[in-house]
A = this chain, B = another copy of it.
Amino acid sequence: MSITYLEAIREAQAKLLRDDKRVFIYGQDVGGTFGGAFKATKGLAKEFPGRVLNTPISEDAMVGTAIGAAMEGMRPIVEMQFADFSSIALNQVLNNAGTIFWRTGISCPITIRLPSGGTKGSGPFHSQSMEALYSHYPGLIVMTPATVEDAYTMLIEAVAIDDPVVYCEHKYLYYHLKADRLPSEGLPVGQARIARVGRDLTIVSYSAMLHESLTAAEKLAREGLEIEVVDLRSVKPLDTATVLASVARTGRLLAVGESFPWGGVTAEVIARVAAEGFHLLDAAPARVNAKDTPIPYHPNLWSAHRPSSDAIVAKARQLLRE
């Protein structure tokens, strides 16, 4: 058997619907015979009648409705058609979902699935990675699974958690990533993972960029360089301890992210390591991000905009020379 990242997301939702009658799925085109723009809910409306519901094109109300249901004990999963459209729901997510527990003591267990990140030809409005916006504000947990296994177990955990979770699933990984089987358990949420062991440099990454980083590490391995790669798994909370422990071993840090540079995950990672692990660093930390422009439509421009394993290799070499 072989299962893709996308199928893992569908399986996780099927399991959730099966095991917990408080769970329902709410989003544009998730229901009917259709099962979502990416088919992440294919077949679920039929298997779980009345619990996989199409919504109007109303992201604000989709999230507001989920919040109300969650406060009344349900466990809604909201699918945004693309992460980029969650900008319309941002107010409900940040100011409503993110503040309810702290203000009132009532928890708000909603899970918002954001099909994120760039793919060829998708352009400025169907390619965004929005984890930094959601992580900046208090009250939310932001997950960024990079593997089929994590896509599965983290989504199940997202729904189990009593707090609002923004679950960033990467569209590039949907079909590109396969696993043999689904695990019954994963690492605890909030814990990063050493995806590759090394001793010369630590690359900290997450989501699709984990794979570019691993490829870069492979390439550098051919030159005898041993790169350690950390997969953050969730960017909020961010597992500083695991990152610091890795930097303690390697003395060097390169943070890699697909979102825009200013204030992204990479800035936060470097700020933490610089503040808490300054003495561990043998050289200046560095970061590789997308460019600070909208995400281009044309594949030639897109591949120059997005961090590639080559760009990571180049930056890593530079860092190792210091």
Interface residues of A (CB under 8 A from B): 84, 87-88, 90-91, 94-95, 98-99, 102-103, 124-125, 132-133, 135-139, 236, 238, 259-260, 262-268, 270-271, 273-279, 281, 283-287, 291-294
Contacting residues, chain B, for A266 (C-beta < 8 A):
271
CA gap between A32 and B274 in the complex, in Å: 52
Cβ contact within 8 Å between B274 and A284:
yes
Chain B CB within 10 A, most for which of A125, A264, A268: A268
Task: Please name the residue on chain B nearest to A276 by beta carbon.
Answer: B284
CA gap between A278 and B87 in the complex, in Å: 36
- Given A95-B125, A292-B138, A270:B274 Cβ within 8 A: yes
Contact sample, A vs B, 17 pairs, CB 8 Å cutoff = A87-B94, A99-B124, A99-B294, A103-B124, A132-B136, A139-B294, A263-B263, A267-B267, A267-B270, A267-B271, A271-B271, A275-B284, A275-B287, A277-B284, A278-B281, A278-B283, A279-B284
- Given A262-B135, A268-B262, A284:B294 Cβ within 8 A: no
A-B contacts besides A87-B94, A103-B294, A274-B274, 5 pairs, CB < 8 Å: A136-B260, A263-B268, A270-B271, A276-B284, A279-B284
Cβ contact within 8 Å between B260 and A137:
yes
Closest 10 A-B residue pairs measured CB to CB?
A278-B284, A274-B274, A87-B91, A267-B271, A270-B271, A263-B263, A99-B294, A267-B267, A136-B263, A138-B292
Tell me how far the C-beta of A132 lies from the nearest C-beta in chain B, rounded to whole angstroms: 5
Tell me how far the C-beta of A140 lies from the nearest C-beta in chain B, rounded to whole angstroms: 10
Tell me how far the C-beta of A62 lies from the nearest C-beta in chain B, rounded to whole angstroms: 15
